[in-house]
Amino acid sequence: MRRTTILALALTTLLLGAAHPAAGAERRPVKGIDVSRFQGRIAWNQVGKSKIRFAYLAASRGYGRDCTVVPEECGRDPWFDRNYGKAKDAGLRVGAYHRAFAAGPGRENAKLDARREANRFVNVVGKVRRNDLRPVLDVEHPFRRLDEATLRIWIRTWMKRVEKKLGVKPLIYTNASSWAATGDTTWFADNGYPLWVANFDVPRPLVPAQNWAGKGWTVWQYTSSGRARGIDGPVDRNRLRKGFGKLEPR
């Protein structure tokens, strides 16, 4: 994943007081990574020998005229199948994510686009297997020709379709800046969708949607420049709050 680092200003401490786990849990975080085509070939057997316990893998991304990052690579991540098999063989808990490129204009076009991207993700993943982690929708800029209400509709359409097809309620990955484009809605938090928040190089993450409606974060992506055994170059590093419970399929 790529995103802009969110600067936590003076209000961060006030906003986040309830967002953190107990001190004991913070001292013993469950360590994880997330990877995509940008990491290339990974020596998962080496990753499995480290203290990393889970990995989220890019499965797919939005595509078509609104896939602006790597247009020629949109759709299926070329490394997903290998990463999935090798990471599981190495003993890691594994989940899949989809990088959204939400597009409109208009609500009906947004729904059509969301269903198309959801179908792409489901076709790549196939099903959620035993010991897999919940799937994830990666929600971050850019959003093309979508106002706040329409973006909320797009996200809801994707989530509901994936939940129906895979039988699992997904997580939402986002950051405070990107989530502001939804009007900082709490609807998804109120309806049981856990949060994977991105906020780099800060002691505590800035959690959108009123501290995710008081529930706080489930996964925190705290750096995009981490290192891990078996991976050449930088990799996203994550901390999982309170064990795997909230990531178990349900």
DSSP assignment of 152-217 equals HHHHHHHHHHHHHHHSSPPEEEE-HHHHGGGTS--HHHHTT--EEEE--SSSS---HHHHHHTT--
How far apart are the C-alpha atoms of 183 and 29, rounded to whole Å? 31
Reported as a pLDDT band with limits 50, 70 and 90, residue 41 is very high
Q: Are 181 and 203 in contact (CB under 8 A)?
A: no
Would you say residue 25 lies in a domain? no
Would you say residue 165 lies in a domain? yes
Would you say residue 3 lies in a domain? no
Give the CATH number, domain containing residue 169. Answer: 3.20.20.80
pLDDT for position 5: 37
Whether residue 171 has pLDDT greater than 60? yes
Whether residue 22 has pLDDT greater than 60? no
Whether residue 80 has pLDDT greater than 50? yes
Q: Are 68 and 101 in contact (CB under 8 A)?
A: yes
Would you say residue 149 lies in a domain? yes
Whether residue 66 has pLDDT greater than 60? no
Reported as a pLDDT band with limits 50, 70 and 90, residue 93 is very high
How far apart are the C-alpha atoms of 142 and 93, rounded to whole Å? 30
Whether residue 247 has pLDDT greater than 50? yes
Q: 58: which strand partners?
A: 97
Would you say residue 68 lies in a domain? yes
Reported as a pLDDT band with limits 50, 70 and 90, residue 67 is low
Query: Region 193-219: what's the mean pLDDT?
Result: 98
Instruction: State the virtual CA torsion across 1, 142, 133, 226 in degrees, nearest 10.
Output: 20
Q: Are 199 and 220 in contact (CB under 8 A)?
A: yes
Whether residue 237 has pLDDT greater than 60? yes
pLDDT for position 69: 52
Would you say residue 12 lies in a domain? no
pLDDT for position 250: 74
pLDDT for position 70: 52
Of residues 53 and 17, the one with the higher pLDDT is: 53
Q: What is the pLDDT of residues 124-169, one digit of tens each?
A: 999 999 999 999 999 999 887 899 999 999 999 999 999 999 999 9
Q: Are 213 and 189 in contact (CB under 8 A)?
A: yes
Q: Are 117 and 66 in contact (CB under 8 A)?
A: no
What's the number of domains the chain is made of?
Answer: 1
Would you say residue 183 lies in a domain? yes
Would you say residue 14 lies in a domain? no
b/e burial code for range 79-93 (CB count within 10 A of at least 16 → b): bbeebbebbbebebb
What domain range is 47 assigned to?
33-247
pLDDT for position 16: 35
Whether residue 28 has pLDDT greater than 80? no
Query: Region 5-25: what's the mean pLDDT?
Result: 36
